[in-house]
Structures are given as C-alpha cells and as structure tokens.
Amino acid sequence: MTLLTAAISLWNTVYIERAVDSLRRKGIAINEQLITHLSPLGWEHINLSGDYVWRTNLKLGQGKYRALRSVNSSLYKKQA
C-alpha cells in the first residue's frame, strides 16, 4: 500500500502543479498562502475497488500529460 500511496501522491502533486500554473498563465489571482495548504493526499478521484477501465484511444508519450479541465477565466478577476 505504501507504493500505491506514493504513486497517488506523485500523480496528484504533478497535476496540482499543472493546474496552478495554468491558472497563473490565464491571469487568475491565486492566494499563495492557500497553495501551501494544498495536499496531494486526496483520494476522492481514485478508484481503489480494483475495477479499472483503460481507454485504449488515449495515447500519451513520455513527458505528456492528460488535459486539464477547462476553466472559464471570465468568472475570475484578472490580476493587476
């Protein structure tokens, strides 16, 4: 279970960083103090039941990532 926890934490850390970077590039204000409280240990989106469905049409090469969900940046104030 330790290896599984480490893998999930790494996956979450990489995608949290990508999401924060994406928001910054869009000019969305981010409270840096709140970012220090983000944790990669969330499990809600992880299926641990052993029932997995692998999409065979999703081909990611080395160094490639799944797309992030889109954000309607007009809902947020732009940074000054």
In a domain? residue 41? yes
Query: How many domains does one find in the chain?
Result: 1
Please check the confidence at residue 80 and state whether its pLDDT lies above 60.
no
In a domain? residue 76? no
In a domain? residue 78? no
Read off the amino acid at residue 57: N
pLDDT class for 58, splitting at 50, 70, 90?
low
In a domain? residue 80? no
**CA–CA distance, 13 with 71 (Å, rounded to integer):** 19
In a domain? residue 77? no
Positive or negative, the Cα torsion across 66, 69, 74, 75?
negative
**CA–CA distance, 79 with 32 (Å, rounded to integer):** 13
Q: pTM here? A: 0.66
Domain extent at residue 24: 2-71
Q: How far is CA 21 from the centre of its chain?
A: 10
In a domain? residue 79? no
pLDDT class for 20, splitting at 50, 70, 90?
very high
Q: What is the DSSP letter of 28?
A: B
